[in-house]
Amino acid sequence: MLNRVVVTGSNGMLGTALVERLAADGREVVGLDIVHRQDSAASRVVHADIRDADAVRAAVRGADLVVHSASALPSYPAEQIDSIVVEGTRTVLSESGRMDVPRVVYLSTGSVYGLPTQVPTPETLPRRPIDPYGRAKARAEELVEKARADGMVVPVLRPKTFLGPGRLGIFAMLFEWAEEGHHFPVLGSGRVRSQMLDVEDLIDAILLAAEGPAETVNTEFNVGAAEFGTLRDDFQTVLDAAGHGKKVIGLPMRPAVATLGLLARAGLSPVYMRLIHKLRADSYMDITRIQKELGFAPRHSNREAILRSFEWWRDRSRHQGFGTGRTSRDPWRQGALSLAKAVF
């Protein structure tokens, strides 16, 4: 019975939605986050760093479940990613074990697979991360494996990029260009299939992992939409919703990749190298394991998820504005890419 749940990263996009769902279900929710917000639905919020062992220990004491969703963004400096993801996870697992927390659900990422040539990608594929974010998440999963060997129950969820109300990050660029009446560029034809995920479906997966039998959940699960198409189709859905009659425009692959790569290395673009590579080929995971073993049934398609994000963005941008670009709830700074709007 989940009476008391601790959510790390409780003020992030996923954390906020998860806390709201748990609170609505009548759970006592303790949020743990370094970011301060006034409007959290949590019963109590601990403003602390996940690498602070004393703070984490105090937060998880007496918990029935810890959901470890706090993380870094792929755009952070490599040493910061490693410290937050690896050392933060080490602290959360260590202190949860010390306090005899029955279960910790760890939010990993499909990035641990790197750029898999096998699609759909199964959980059995070895971890081959290619960037600091993926490598840090893979090392955190190794810590999970050690915790399991010590008797802990730690389900690992590997979600695709998740969307929905509250999600911005790099998607804010698409939303802004669409709302202002610009065409939107993609690499090549944009006909690559790219699986995403609605945050509501991810929360469903978290709760299934939280409440399923220990012997079933103590492993890794891919989480993604069951219904998805191409990037061109998904982006065009947003342009159509904006109502300006604009289109997705394909760019010649090689020169576009070379230009984006140079901008990324110079720190002039938020489009990091792994994302550039992902946009060039099909990217989707096999979700059969979580469907069969936990009964996961995604409710939203890619298109529905991205439209829910866009409509939320439209409403919020009109009334409240946004923050600093340091979390997935903030729009990332476009850098030199903002100049390209004049062309499109």
The pLDDT value given to residue 165:
85
Can you give the pLDDT at residue 38? Answer: 80
Specify the amino acid at residue 40: S
User: pLDDT, tens digit, for every residue of 182-218?
Assistant: 999 888 888 999 999 999 999 999 999 999 999 999 9
Q: Look up the pTM and report it.
A: 0.90
Sheet containing 220-223, strands listed edge to edge, beginning at the edge strand earlier in sequence: 44-47, 28-33, 4-8, 65-68, 104-107, 156-159, 220-223
In angstroms and rounded to an integer, the radius of gyration of the C-alpha atoms of the chain is: 20
Cα 237 from Cα 235, distance rounded (Å): 5
The CA distance from 251 to 187, in Å, is 5
According to DSSP H, which parts of the chain are helical? Answer: 13-24, 53-60, 78-82, 88-98, 132-149, 171-180, 199-211, 214-217, 231-242, 253-265, 273-278, 288-294, 302-319
Angle value at C-alpha 188, between 341 and 337, nearest 5 degrees: 25
pLDDT tens-digit readout, 84-116: 999 999 999 999 999 999 999 999 999 999 988
Picking from 84, 74, 131, 113, the residue whose alpha carbon sits closest to that of residue 328 is 74
Q: What is the pLDDT of residue 338?
A: 61
Q: State mean pLDDT over 3-22.
A: 96
**Could you tell me the domains of the chain?**
4-154 (3.40.50.720), 164-195+226-284+301-342 (3.90.25.10)
Instruction: Using a pLDDT cut of 70, give the percent of the chain over it.
Output: 85
Residue 246 tokens, joined: 């604009």
Contacts of the segment 20-28: beta carbons below 8 A, 24+ positions apart? 21/203, 21/207, 27/2, 27/3, 28/3, 28/4
pLDDT at residue 29 tops 70: yes
Phi, psi of 43 (to 5 degrees): -65, -35
pLDDT of residue 173: 86
**What is the model's pLDDT at position 324?**
42
Amino acid identity, residue 272?
Y
> Residue 167 — very low, low, confident or very high, per pLDDT cuts 50/70/90?
confident
pLDDT tens for residues 246-295? 999 988 877 766 666 676 666 655 555 556 666 668 899 999 999 999 99
Q: What is the mean pLDDT of residues 6-33?
A: 96
Q: Report which of 127, 67, 64 is spatially closest to residue 101, judged by C-alpha positions.
A: 64
Mean pLDDT on 317-327: 51
Cα 258 → chain centroid: 26
